Amino acid sequence: MKYVTAGLLLLLVMSGCSTAGKFGSENYIVDLEQQRYCIEGRSACRYFSLIGPSYREGWIADAFGMPEQYYSWTGGELATIVLNPPDGSYQPELIGGRQYRLPPTFATHMVWDVLAMEYFSLYRDDEGFQEHWPQPRRFSVPP
């Protein structure tokens, strides 16, 4: 029984490792025209305006290495932050019009995670028919 349990545990760990490189490896697209933050190649998008009712701005600030203090941003201010990362950790790539590509980093994942959590908190179906709590992407890349 001990070997079966150890084998199952090893199998779970290995299966987690095989998806770790895939999950969260997509770039992000910032669409300034529609004020959206999207996962490239998917239809998954969140509006930057979701940061308005949030109390998680500090999570994003911390991910970008910003000083610890109280933050409250509008959607446009958050878009400016992701396009001009305070820690200088990446350079956005203009891909056409008012759209930019961002690399998958801890900070860009954190922005997605916070917007996804806000969306879920505001629009989830309390009857249990909506999706489950969003899976964090920020843990797929080392900070």
- The 10s digit of each residue's pLDDT in 89-98 is 999 999 999 9
Work out the average pLDDT over 37-65.
93
Q: What is each CA distance from 131 to 35, 41, 53, in whole angstroms?
A: 24, 21, 21
Whether residue 112 is predicted with pLDDT greater than 70 in this model: the reply is yes
Tell me which amino acid residue 73 is. W
Work out the average pLDDT over 122-133.
62
Whether residue 121 is predicted with pLDDT greater than 90 in this model: the reply is no
Distance CA 134, CA 89 (A): 25
Whether residue 134 is predicted with pLDDT greater than 70 in this model: the reply is no
Question: pTM to 2 decimals?
Answer: 0.76
| Structural tokens at position 81 | 């932050």
Whether residue 18 is predicted with pLDDT greater than 90 in this model: the reply is no
| Structural tokens at position 122 | 């505001």
Q: What is the DSSP string of 9-34?
A: HHHHHHHHHHHHTTTT-S-EEEETTT
- Which band of pLDDT confidence, cut at 50, 70 and 90, is reported for residue 2? very low
Average pLDDT across the chain, whole number:
81
pLDDT at 100: 98
Whether residue 74 is predicted with pLDDT greater than 70 in this model: the reply is yes
Lowest mean pLDDT among 45-49, 81-85, 122-126: 122-126
pLDDT at 23: 53
Distance CA 103, CA 105 (A): 6
